[in-house]
Amino acid sequence: RHSGEDSMAAIAIGLLGAAFAGMAYMSVRMIGHDTSANVMVLYYAVMSVPVTMFGSKVCIGSWNVWHGGGNLGAWDWCWMVLTGLTAYAGQYLTNLGLQYETAATGTLATCSQIVFTYIFELVFLHELINVWSILGSLLIIGFMAIVGILKMKDADETMRETVAGEPEELALLFSAEHHNRYDCRMIDGSEPGNIA
């Protein structure tokens, strides 16, 4: 069990990390989809190496980021490799999503990792069920559902406005009858805009 002070410190550090993550997500959004998501993952890794070494010196008093690594067994190394692979996949997919969605919506979607982390803790680490964790997970899922519904509603309204504003163009695109009339009118030499 952790003391109350340790828990508050962990929460404060987590909030600080979330703030920096939000800035990173905003940067990805500003870069846009002209740059590959893999490139941004590479730059994360390049910057993480010196920062991790500095953090290791500050926190544990050693520049050796492999502090205590000699005690790792085969299964520990497998878990570390799996951690790296899943972290890469998660970061790549997050960057890819942020390139095509607003930073606010993308960041809200990444909050679902809290829910998945809690589920994995219950399944693999056999953590005790916490009422507050369950309520927080439900709150996150609820907000994500609301955002998804609003997005779909906005998309439907945009489509309806397009249909109402451009009937002739949509008729030409989706109606075989109008396509046939268009071909006939063009053969006769009449104007395409006069199609009934």
Helix (H) or strand (E) holding 32: none
Q: What is the residue type of 115?
A: V
Q: What is the mean pLDDT of residues 163-169?
A: 52
Residue 85 pLDDT level (bands cut at 50, 70, 90)? very high
Residue 196 is predicted with a pLDDT of 46
* Top-ranked range on mean pLDDT: pick from 15-24, 77-86, 109-118, 139-148: 77-86
Helices (H) and strands (E) in the chain, counts: 8, 0
Per-residue tokens: 125? 């680490």
On the question of pLDDT at 156 being above 50, the answer is: yes
- Between CA 119 and CA 196 the distance in angstroms is 59
Outline where 32-111 has alpha helix (H). Answer: 37-60, 74-100, 103-110
- Between CA 114 and CA 55 the distance in angstroms is 24
Q: What is the residue type of 16?
A: L
On the question of pLDDT at 1 being above 60, the answer is: no
Main-chain phi, psi angles of 64, to 5 degrees: -80, 105
On the question of pLDDT at 94 being above 80, the answer is: yes
Q: What is the mean pLDDT of residues 111-139?
A: 82
Residue 190 is predicted with a pLDDT of 53
> Is the pTM of the predicted complex or chain greater than 0.75?
no
Other residues' Cβ atoms within 10 Å of the Cβ of residue 172:
15
- Between CA 196 and CA 167 the distance in angstroms is 11
Residue 195 is predicted with a pLDDT of 47
